[in-house]
Chain A
Amino acid sequence: MKLTINQSLDQEETEIIINYSVIDQRLQHLIDYIRQYSFSIQGILDNSVFQIPLEKIMYIDTADKKTFLYCTQKVYQAKETLSTLEKVLLKTPFVRISKSCIANSTYLKCVKPIANHHLEAMLKNGEKLIVSRSYIKDLKEKLKN
């Protein structure tokens, strides 16, 4: 694989072009990973709308029928429902870990078993999330891919 990086002040927008003859699994994963960085979700904070890059979101949670985007510094409210976001984020590192939470697997540090047949996932910033039994398989599949 050849990597060419060109810097030009004339370039208005960063553009990534991948030339290939046959697409394999490794290349597909790379494309999905890059896609994450070009994708953002609208978040609302103090009546202002922001475009939140995906890589800044640690996890998405619902409470009182509202969806919240938890970033490293701030929490934004999303317009979409959790189910909608789950479909949109299918090809990204985001994975559903419970009925009310979608986690960004790149922020996961480790997991451990806890009561009620659940797992407790610790994020890199020390926060803890609950992984329900029924979503453990999905989490494993996402990490394998």
Chain B
Amino acid sequence: MNKIRKIHLPAISMAFTLAILFSATITLLRGNDTTGIFASVMQMLGFVVALQIINVFISRIRFRKYYQYYLSNFFIMYAFFISVAYVFHWFGFRLENIILNTIIFIFIFTFIQHHFYKLLKKEADEINALLDNKERQ
């Protein structure tokens, strides 16, 4: 499980992202994007990068509890997501579309947060084992 989390998952994500980006770039440069889907891919890239920039600023705030960080991060990023989706017409702003895309956003956000939390928890467990070992000596 640890190998999947540390190696395979990031590798798949990076490979998939790079493949889509190369594909989108080439299609756009050739002027072949008749459906506009590759332009949307580049918008999504810009959006994801912007989310990381927002995350950098949020990370500078000293939250006392993990859930405070999680919820603050979520609501700020969600507000940004909805705004961008509205401006770039990513989906029709009907109730069922908003609910569906909100569920997708919650899933992706939680998945990523959980992934990094698990990695950090493993580091903490290793350190605690070393501390316990030292204490016993």
Contacts and interface: CB of A to CB of B under 8 A. Distances in A.
Interface of A: 108-117, 119, 133, 136, 139-140, 143-144
B66 interface: yes
A114 B66 CA distance: 5
Interface stretch (B24-32, B34-42, B96-104, B126-134): B126-134
Interface stretch (B7-15, B44-52, B87-95, B117-125): B117-125
A140 B59 contact: no
Contacts of A136: 123, 127
The interface size bin for chain B is: 20 to 34
A109 B128 CA distance: 8
B116 A143 contact: no
B110 interface: no
A140 B124 contact: no
Select the residue from B66, B69, B130 with max chain A CB neighbours within 10 A.
Answer: B130
B110 to A, nearest CB: 15
B86 interface: no
B17 interface: no
Contacts of A110: 128, 131
B63 A115 contact: yes
Contact of B121 (A113, A116, A139): A113
A32 to B, nearest CB: 14
5 contacts: A113-B66, A115-B70, A116-B69, A136-B123, A143-B130
B136 interface: no
B68 interface: yes
A138 to B, nearest CB: 11
Given A115-B63, A116-B63, A117-B120, A140 B131 contact: no
B131 A143 contact: yes
Nearest to B61: A116
B70 A140 contact: no
Contacts of A143: 127, 130-131, 134
B94 to A, nearest CB: 35
Nearest to B123: A136
A134 to B, nearest CB: 12
A113 B117 contact: yes
Nearest to A137: B123
A136 B62 CA distance: 18
